[in-house]
Chains A and B, each alone.
Chain A
Amino acid sequence: MALLAAEHLTVTFPECEAPVLSDVSFSLNAGDFAVLCGATGCGKTTLLRMCKPELTPLCTQSGSISFDGQPLSALDNRTSAAKIGFVMQHPEQQIVTDRVWHELAFGLENLNTPPDIMRRRIAEIASYFGIEELLDRDPATLSGGQKQLLNLASVMIMQPQLLLLDEPTAQLDPIAAADFLTTLQRLNRDFSVTILLAEHRLEEVIPHSTTLLLMEQGTVIMQDAPRALLQKLPADAPVLAGMPAAVRLYHALGMRGKCPLSVSEARQNLMPQLSCACDHLPEPAPRPETEPAVQITGAYFRYEKNGRDILNDLTFSVQTGALYCLIGGNGAGKSTVLGVLSGLNRCYAGKVMIFGKRIQDYKHRSLHQNCVTLLPQDVQTVFLRNTAAEELAEIDRHYAETLADFPFDFTPLLSRHPYDLSGGEQQLLALAKVMLTKPRLLLLDEPTKGLDAQSKARLADVLHGLTAQGVTVLMVTHDIEFAACHADRCGFLSRGALISADIPTRFFSENAFYTTAASRISRGYYRQTVTVEQVVQLGEQNGGCR
């Protein structure tokens, strides 16, 4: 029997004409691991919230949702709190108390659980999630990944049957995200918890999911097992952009038969069908040599006198007008490099040159006047005003003229509050605000964090537009797929030093572990194909699939 089912659900927000959700029907069985995908703004969050009575927004609704055979509205407060768990996107803001053990106890306290049972449940859940060491810590001192695991644990402690998750890994780095998703799989497998997950990171989730729900413009257009659903998709469906590389290859090459979902399936079933007569694409024409915009030589930096060196003999340079991606693990010193270049951190040894001038010689904040600007990871910190228009006017009253060349049109967003924009729109608005200071060197810290495939593509267009205008862009990122598709050059930072730097095709094809899914799939068949587009291009050159 279905655990969660919606029938002809239509939801309209007050003072809106068009419904946010229209005629949504789906059903999940107990033990399902369902992934909800669709572009930003298609109603995923609203749908999830409709399934959790405490979070249902103010709206008029028709149709019905039932949980475990009875209508959702008939559930009493306690049952719905305990049986339906909800995890949101921002790890920090969901935490209520100032001790990890108290956070775990919070839900049980609300249910009036006796102290002895709470004690046992906290010990159990802490050991299952491996957070016993953290019990006495203040959640503010945890990493983003640990915070999100804590949020999941403090929901799981109430022993829910259904777990709703709204983009829980959007704010996490790839390692923490993989960790979180693995934990979800374990919960599903070990306790048969039913999971409904809205997610952009589909590469790792889809192979493990049992059901895929596809949303478009406020309605669930398809529901099926992932393989069957993805096979049925038309090759030009926009939602494909966010799917695993294996699926995109399958459709782009117009293949038949079983659709591969993971890298290993693609290697076994998809690659053998392609001819390898020509195993590499011609080298792209090298970029014309330009003056270096950034030149760092033998730089050392540490935050504390007796701490360790965060930058350790760092030497690298970025050419003017290039889009340079600096990648590397957590704590490799990526953000610190940006701090150094934006004048927030000062190296204690080594030479830092920006446009041929030593950074110390930029006096009186002249470094930030039409020269270098840094867009921080949390773009909300850039906004100070009540509307997007005021935000832009703050820097330049004639922003419309200055932004005439900006490769994105803001007109529809101008009257809205910056906090009300979607993640991708916030990113672009912040970028526009920053561009009004007319920088020649733009530093970006994780600009693709939390963005869906379409927003990423839009961001890439904007960045290419800027480099074409001669702006140098240096971004640090965990997003190797983005770097492979769009960078002019990639650098790998480890323990505070630059280990290697090259153009993306060579860079990622020489890496064996730190590389893109397309490169892992085509390895051994083709050389130097690191993006899906390249594999497709080479495959078609060789005559498509046999």
Chain B
Amino acid sequence: MRAFEAMNPAAVTVTLLLTACITIFCLEPVLLGISLACAIAYYLMRNGCRHAAFHIGALGMPLLFALLNPLWNQHGETVLFIINQRAITQEALFYGGVTGLRLAAVFYWFRNFSDLMTSEKLFYLFRGFSPKLALIFTMAVRNLSLFRAQAKKIQTAQRALGLYREGHLIDDLRGGMRVFSILLTWALENGITAANSMSARGYGSGKRSSFTYFRWHNGDIVLLLMSLILAAFVIDAAFRGILTWQFYPQRIPPAVTLPYLAALAAYTALAMLPVIYEGKEVLTWHCLRRSI
């Protein structure tokens, strides 16, 4: 078994997107709690305890929404207190908290997703749709950074020439315009060389194949099938109303039945997949290393 990161990007994308989509569309506090916990667990496994600011921002979300929602939302029948002739209800408070929880969980999932998906993985996914588009995509990524680097070089060069007076806004603006216009010329020149280099290596000489280091292993198919089956089970339960909460005017949780528990268990399994794969890898590695 490989770490979650090393699995086929398509399988990884499907797993993460299904987990995140269910989080978005299913307003079930218990399920959201599980989703958030799993997302944080995976994030911590990969990043350790860094990025405190991100954690504070994301985890402050439920609190913020719980406080804000009652200000607009007057529904609910349990009035806690009245400010400025507005009733602050317990239900509105709760509903705000739940939406905040959902947002926090989605934040973490997408952060995990963008950490995992390097440009070459995105390229691989794109390639499935259109190899040509995918090539344009990688060239665009590359040229943008070249463009930025050249702009910086030109600006430094011009500054060292002493062409602009200090703190002179008009000088700076005019300078910026000129730099931009010469950058376009530079990009065209650059583009000609790149086009030459491409055609010299046979670009456009007929049908192309497309190379990638990613392949489908049995493990990837297993991961894909597992996440599809688990997600299908949860979505089915959601459509049958097993996971539906009523928030207004009174808070009524769904009945705790066997299907309800089973759906939650299935979701837990789905959301835990990244953590399980990562954890297994760490464990295996630890054991293997002991024997070195």
With a CB–CB cut-off of 8 A, which chain A residues contact B157? Answer: 374, 376, 378, 381-382
Q: Given A94-B197, A384-B178, answer yes or no on A105-B211 (Cβ-Cβ < 8 Å).
A: yes
Q: Produce 1/0 per residue, A113-147, CB < 8 A to B.
A: 11100110010000000000000001110000000
Q: Which of A54, A122, A433: most chain B Cβ within 10 A?
A: A54
**Contacting residues, chain A, for B210 (C-beta < 8 A):** 109
- Select B194's contact among A93, A139, A369, A380, beta carbons within 8 Å: A93
B205 and A77 contact, CB distance less than 8 A: yes
Q: How far is the CB of A96 from chain B (nearest CB, A)?
A: 6
Do residues B211 and A108 form an inter-chain contact, with CB atoms below 8 A? yes
Are B166 and A378 in touch, CB under 8 angstroms?
no
**Is B46 an interface position by the 8 A CB rule?**
no
Q: Is the CB of A102 within 8 A of B165?
A: no
Contact between B194 and A344 (Cβ–Cβ < 8 Å)? no
Cα-based distance from A154 to B208 in the complex (angstroms): 16
Say yes or no: A102-B120 contact (C-beta < 8 A), given A77-B205, A419-B185: yes
Q: How many A residues, CB 8 Å from partner?
A: 66
Any chain A CB within 8 A of the CB of B128?
no
Q: With an 8 A cutoff between CB atoms, is A97 at the interface?
A: yes
A82 to chain B, nearest CB (A): 7
- Within B181-195, which residues are at the interface with A (CB < 8 Å)? 181-182, 185-186, 189-190, 193-194
Question: Of the candidates A107, A139, A342, A395, which one forms a contact with B201 in the assembled complex, judged by CB atoms under 8 Å apart?
Answer: A107
A-B contact count (CB 8 A): 166
With A54-B199, A381-B154 as known contacts, state yes or no: A93 contacts B205, CB within 8 Å: no
Nearest CB of chain B from residue A327's CB, rounded to whole Å: 21
Residues of B within 8 A of A99 (CB): 119-120, 138
Interface string of A194-231 (1 = CB under 8 A from B): 00000000000000000000000000000000000000
CA distance A342 to B185 in the complex (A): 27
- Number of B residues, CB within 8 Å of A: 54
Set of chain B residues within 8 Å of A365, measured between Cβ atoms: 162, 164-166
* Contact of A395 with B202 in the complex, beta carbons under 8 Å: no
**Which of B21-29, B89-97, B140-148 lies on the face that meets chain A?**
B140-148
B196→A374 contact, CB < 8 A: no
CB interface residues, A 153-170, toward B, < 8 Å: 154-155, 158
Tell me the nearest residue of chain A to B167, going by C-beta. Answer: A364
**Which B residues are in CB contact (< 8 Å) with A108?**
209, 211
Partner of B213 from A101, A110, A114 at Cβ < 8 Å:
A101
Known contacts A99-B120, A118-B211, A344-B159: A383-B182 contact under CB 8 Å: yes
Q: Is the CB of B201 within 8 A of A106?
A: yes
Asked whether any CB of chain A lies closer than 8 Å to the CB of B262, the reply is: no
A427-448 Cβ-contact flags toward B at 8 Å (1 or 0)? 0000001100100000000000
Indicate if the CB atoms of B203 and A110 lie closer than 8 Å: yes
At the interface, yes or no: B158 with Cβ under 8 Å from chain A? yes
Identify the closest chain A residue to B141 (Cβ).
A98
CB-based contact A374/B211 at 8 Å: no
Complex CA gap A433/B161 in Å reads: 9
Decide yes or no whether B153 CB sits under 8 A from chain A.
yes
Query: Which of A84-92, A346-354, A475-483 contacts its partner?
Result: A84-92
Interface string of A377-393 (1 = CB under 8 A from B): 01011111100000000
| Pair B196/A112 contact, Cβ less than 8 Å | no
- List of B residues within 8 angstroms of A88 by Cβ: 193, 196-197
A96 to B143, CA, bound (A): 9
Interface residues of B in 75-117 (CB under 8 A from A): none
B208 touches A110 (CB 8 A): yes
Cβ A395 vs Cβ B138 within 8 A: no
Asked whether B49 is an interface residue with its Cβ less than 8 Å from the other chain, the reply is no
CA A122 to CA B149, docked complex, whole Å: 29
Q: In whole angstroms, how far apart are the Cα atoms of A412 and B186 in the complex?
A: 23
Is A277 an interface residue, CB under 8 A from the partner? no
Assess whether B142 is in contact with A109, with CB atoms less than 8 Å apart.
no
> With a CB–CB cut-off of 8 A, which chain B residues contact A382?
157-158, 161
Q: Can you list 22 residue pairs at the A/B interface with Cβ under 8 Å?
A: A52-B200, A54-B196, A55-B196, A78-B202, A86-B197, A86-B200, A95-B197, A98-B138, A99-B138, A101-B213, A102-B123, A102-B211, A108-B211, A110-B208, A112-B206, A122-B211, A155-B200, A365-B165, A368-B160, A376-B153, A376-B156, A381-B158
Beyond A140-B145, A374-B160, 7 additional contacts (C-beta under 8 Å) are A78-B202, A86-B197, A94-B196, A98-B139, A110-B208, A384-B158, A384-B181
Complex A-B, nearest 5 residue pairs according to Cβ-Cβ distance, in ascending order: A368-B162, A81-B202, A77-B205, A110-B202, A105-B211
